[in-house]
Chain A
């Protein structure tokens, strides 16, 4: 990675620099404050009881025993919790998910909260919860893809992907000279951010201050306000840091609302942190899918049809269907395209968006199927993808706002050494006799933009202050957004103070969909431009300024001064201008939204190509990914160092999807049996080596004024398939169920 990356910027040069994280010192010294690190005076600790059945009713709990435990202050069960002011079974706004505020004794998924204990100490609350020892009347749970009858999805909308058809699918099938018809399964996966969901709630009358991890600070205030029956402005969220979110902290969840409710009922501040096993239920997950992918090709290996159907599990009481089949939209050119979805209801917590929702699962199946089709057509998998390269968005025919995928393929392949790959499987071994395989996949993720606002100030001393309620869950908002703001203000980064992470600041929208940098950054940029323009006007109107009469259009801001373009003799400092004009600070505001016209006229995606090398033990089938090279084109990269980290993180999530993650359900009880971090495997350090990221230059004049696409989610896509394909290339065995397990490879070899 070069130390300096040059990008054309009108102002300054912070963007494009691999600046180290501005929150780095706080994070390495333990002073970065996460929600549960707060401890207001008079605090009570909350622990809730999780249902040990997936369907049925709670018949009794030993409230007396719990209350008798020293330190226990209150026990909330359906018998004594006053109802929440807002209706938890309604869906009053777009990202609302139904939850259980202890209003009745029914259980609709395992680990549903069924009681809440408040105590003076965490130890007492924990034991109080255990002592409740609930008894149940259990009913047979419906679990998994076959636990219930599938249902058709009507309407579409958030969490309800419908069916999309372009062209004549039947004709596409009929025209195929060769085809594959393959079925893949992906399991339930749980976000498991390292920071469990937590809240510290402190009420003052009908105002509440929440320390809570949130991917959407301002939006969440309105949501909490709805359930708590108070106006949004009475809710303050403080969230300078999130210990990971990955989608699970974008929407409200039941346990958190319950703890806030309890704090109000008891009249004392309350802290709740979920236990790790409680993360497997009420705080969303990636729903399981079964996907059928049919591809047909003509004699030239050009796709006549790409037909992708997906069945996904959702809960019995709410809708969130993985939009897996949509992964086949927008990616390859094909005579006809179909993406179709069905749902199946199970007695599980409601799934929700999890890093690259829809795309991750869909890409896993699609990229595997592409490999199988290439194999059948007898051509190299990369060549197969190039032959079906989409020059315009398939289906819509819209031009791409930018698409450097060809360069991604080329640079990734070059770095990886792909041209040396033998076509047939089981051709390579290493010095220890391990089977070596190479596989690849295409990465794709939409480049959305949401709405955001920001405020920018130039202070009398010439320094800048910018504000927006962004969320930094690790993607680097504290740093990257400050870089954008610095450039927009014409100030060096160290002269810009960035305030964020509190709901009292202007709304930055949601940190999700890989659109936060573009959105919040766009708002900051606009706010910066606004204040700079005002200051420039002040200067050019000021007879004492060297810039007097120069006119706004000819001057540029750089290093805290305005300069007349091309005339180094005429400049004026921000502080000097303000000093001569009353000495007060000057303020600007700005907002961001997708430019309407460009949005309608262009297809906008980030693209990439991932190449994987795996080594597989020929007898024992232990698999290690030994190299993973990803080349990504995602518009302007504001901070290459942090973007690289994001992309690597995504690729490791892909590795995790391919080889590790799976919630195992006991079909008899509907409970997750491996619901902890020893049983639910995510990669450890030793699983990761040989990781390389290439960011491919891309100028995008349409996606937004800054030319930014997102890098947070795309890394998973492509990677899952690349690894699965590499495993086939090593072993000759196709595993169409994720994660690929030792026992599957063993069975496949026999």
Chain B
């Protein structure tokens, strides 16, 4: 059975010849597309390490079958920065020390970008904590993560204001 799909990953259009319908988006990225930035922490939707954006929304790539993504637009941690220019969330994670080992970090950052885009948390720390609770961090960098997301949300909101002004 031929399962060719065509999708956009980090802005690049890719035609993927899938020989196996069992391949998850996570394993597609990591093992077949040389994009190992997205991490596996449980493979079962229980940790958030594999978070990427699909069509702009954050999802767990470990529970998403690649075959279902024909036509989808995928953004991974590798595609977030514009060249040398880090995304505000990336900058904020560095500044607020929102990680230690860095293993959960790609997922945290993609989740934060998704959360900010959802527009439900604003810069309210308590809502950010809730909104980021789908991303476990065993190093327990939560304090810095919350600060980073709060800071980035503020910076992005004021940048948006400046743009629209």
Contact = CB atoms under 8 A, between A and B. Distances in A.
Q: Do chains A and B touch in the complex (CB under 8 A)?
A: yes
B101 A193 contact: yes
A108 to B, nearest CB: 26
Interface in A236-257: 241-244, 246
Interface in A38-68: 39, 45
A541 interface: no
A241 B101 contact: yes
A689 B41 contact: no
Interface stretch (A156-164, A591-599, A680-688): A680-688
Nearest to A127: B22
Contacts of A196: 40-41
A493 B106 CA distance: 27
Contacts of A30: 35-38, 76-78, 106
A194 B104 contact: yes
Nearest to A31: B37
A30 B80 CA distance: 10
B39 A243 contact: yes
A685 B49 CA distance: 14
Contact of B125 (A195, A275, A653, A689): A689
Contacts of A474: 99-102, 139
Contacts of A32: 102
Contacts, number: 184
Q: Give the residue among A644, A645, A687 with the most B Cβ atoms within 10 A.
A: A645
A472 B44 CA distance: 27
A327 B45 CA distance: 38
A135 interface: no
Nearest to A275: B43
Contacts of B44: 276, 676-678
B128 to A, nearest CB: 8
A534 to B, nearest CB: 36
B13 interface: no
Interface residues of A, number: 63
Nearest to A29: B81
Contacts of A244: 100-101, 103, 138-139
Given A37-B30, A475-B100, A677-B136, A27 B39 contact: no
Contact of B102 (A23, A275, A685): A23
The winner among B103, B140, B141 for most chain A CB atoms within 10 A is B140
B135 interface: yes
A677 to B, nearest CB: 4
Contacts of A649: 100, 139-141
Interface in A411-435: none
Contacts of A392: none
Interface string B114-144: 0000000000011011101111111111111
Nearest to B77: A30
A169 B49 CA distance: 51
Interface in A82-123: 121-123
Interface string B68-104: 0000000011101100001000110111010111111
Given A476-B100, A686-B129, A28 B86 contact: yes
Nearest to A476: B100
A364 interface: no
A677 B49 CA distance: 12
A656 B94 CA distance: 25
A688 B142 contact: yes
B100 to A, nearest CB: 3
Contact of A682 (B27, B77, B78, B136): B136
B146 A685 contact: yes
B132 to A, nearest CB: 4
Contacts of A29: 37, 77-78, 80-81, 86, 90
B54 interface: no
A23 B94 CA distance: 9
Contacts of B129: 685-686, 688-689
B100 A195 contact: no
A686 B34 CA distance: 34
Contacts of A194: 39, 41, 47, 49, 101, 103-104, 136-139
Nearest to A472: B101
Contact of A241 (B102, B106, B145): B102
Interface in A653-702: 653, 656, 676-678, 682-689, 691
Given A676-B44, A677-B136, A685-B135, A195 B142 contact: no
Contacts of A551: none
A457 interface: no
Given A676-B42, A685-B146, A688-B143, A27 B138 contact: no
Nearest to A198: B40
Given A241-B102, A474-B139, A39 B36 contact: yes
Contacts of B30: 36-37
A685 B145 contact: yes
A687 B38 CA distance: 25
Interface string A256-280: 0000000000000000010110000
B38 A243 contact: no
Q: Which of B49, B100, B106, B128 has the most CB of A within 10 A?
A: B100
A33 interface: yes
B5 interface: no
B109 interface: yes
B20 interface: yes
B143 A122 contact: no
Contacts of B146: 685, 688
Nearest to A646: B100
Given A121-B20, A243-B103, A677-B46, 6 more contacts: A195-B41, A244-B103, A474-B101, A682-B138, A685-B142, A688-B142
8 contacts: A193-B103, A195-B103, A275-B43, A645-B143, A648-B140, A676-B46, A677-B46, A683-B142
Interface of A: 20-21, 23-34, 36-37, 39, 45, 121-124, 127, 192-196, 241-244, 246, 273, 275-276, 472-476, 641-642, 644-646, 648-649, 652-653, 656, 676-678, 682-689, 691
| Shortest beta-carbon contacts, A-B, top 7 | A30-B37, A243-B103, A474-B100, A474-B101, A27-B102, A30-B77, A652-B140
